[in-house]
Amino acid sequence: MIKPVGSDTLQPLFVYDTDKHHALMHEAESLPSVIISSQAAGNAVMLGAGYFNPLKGYMTVGDAMGCAEHMKMSDGSFFPVPVLCLLESVDELQGVGRIALRDPNVEGNPVLAVMDINTIEQVSDEQMEIMTRRVYGTTDPEHPGVAAFNSQGRYAISGPIQVLSFSYFQTDFPDTFRTAVEIRNEIQERGWQKIVAFQTRNPMHRAHEELCKMAMDAVKADGVVIHMLLGKLKPGDIPAPVRDAAIRKMAELYFPPNTVCITGYGFDMLYAGPREAVLHAYFRQNMGATHFIIGRDHAGVGDYYGAFDAQTIFDTEVPADALDIEIFRADHTAYSKKLNRVVMMRDAPDHSKEDFVLLSGTKVREMLGQGMAPPPEFSRPEVAEILMNYYQSLN
The closest alpha carbon to 198, from 267, 291, 288, 285, belongs to 291
Task: Quote the radius of gyration of the chain (alpha carbons, Å).
Answer: 21
How far is Cα 195 from Cα 395, in angstroms, rounded to an integer? 41
The closest alpha carbon to 73, from 343, 336, 322, 338, belongs to 322
143 close to 302: Cβ distance less than 8 angstroms: yes
157 close to 93: Cβ distance less than 8 angstroms: yes
248 catalytic? Reply is no
- State the DSSP string of 42-88: HHHHHHHTTTTTT--EEPPHHHHHHHHHHSB-TTS-B-SS----EES
How far is Cα 50 from Cα 78, in angstroms, rounded to an integer? 16
Active-site option among 109, 133, 190, 202 = 202
341 catalytic? Reply is no
264-276: string of b/e by CB count within 10 Å (b at 16+)? Answer: bbbbbbbbbbbbb
Strand duo 57-58 + 155-163: pairing: antiparallel
How far is Cα 60 from Cα 379, in angstroms, rounded to an integer? 46
Residue type (1 letter), 155:
Y
- State the DSSP string of 302-368: TTSS-TTHHHHHHHHTS-TTS--SEEEE---EEEETTTTEEEEGGG-TT--GGGEE---HHHHHHHH
Active-site option among 190, 201, 248, 329 = 201
Contacting residues for 128 by C-beta, under 8 A, at least 6 apart: 150, 154
Give the catalytic positions in this structure. 201-202
